[in-house]
Amino acid sequence: MCIVIAGGIKGIEREYKNISKKYGFKCKIFNENVPNFNKKIKNVDAVVMFTGTVSHKISKKCCAVCKKNDICLKRMHSSSINQLELALQEISSEI
């Protein structure tokens, strides 16, 4: 299973990936806008969006792609590891 983390703190990306592996998820992290962003996230199982650190442009694109492709979207204000764990627990129970 694959998830996308939109936003977050660049310095703790490795910890985000380790936590994701702990829950059995492969993780892609997007801290900034990249070319073909819509195509890169349309085949994932879930998206965790850190609303406090994500740009408005990425936020809008994430919401549109998730709605169109029926992808689970979890919005968390804080970019902390505890919030990521909470989101992954919720995603694990839903999927």
Count of domains observed in the chain: 1
| Helices then strands, each counted (H, E), the chain | 4, 4
Asked whether residue 50 is domain-assigned, the answer is yes
Asked whether residue 40 is domain-assigned, the answer is yes
Confidence category of residue 93, pLDDT binned at 50, 70, 90:
confident
Neighbouring residues of 75: CB distance < 8 A, sequence distance ≥ 6: 49, 51
Q: Is the pLDDT of residue 21 over 80?
A: yes
Confidence category of residue 8, pLDDT binned at 50, 70, 90:
confident
CB-side neighbour CA atoms (13 Å) of 89: 6
Distance CA 6, CA 79 (A): 10
CA distances from 32 to 8, 15, 37 (A): 10, 18, 10
Question: For the segment 35-83, what is each residue's pLDDT rounded down to a tens digit?
Answer: 888 888 888 999 999 998 988 988 998 999 999 999 999 999 988 999 9
**Mean pLDDT of the region 21-47:** 89
Asked whether residue 95 is domain-assigned, the answer is no
CA pseudo-torsion sign 84, 90, 93, 95: negative
Residue 22: count other Cβ atoms within 10 Å of its Cβ: 10
The CATH number assigned to the domain holding 69 equals: 3.40.50
**Which pTM was predicted?**
0.88
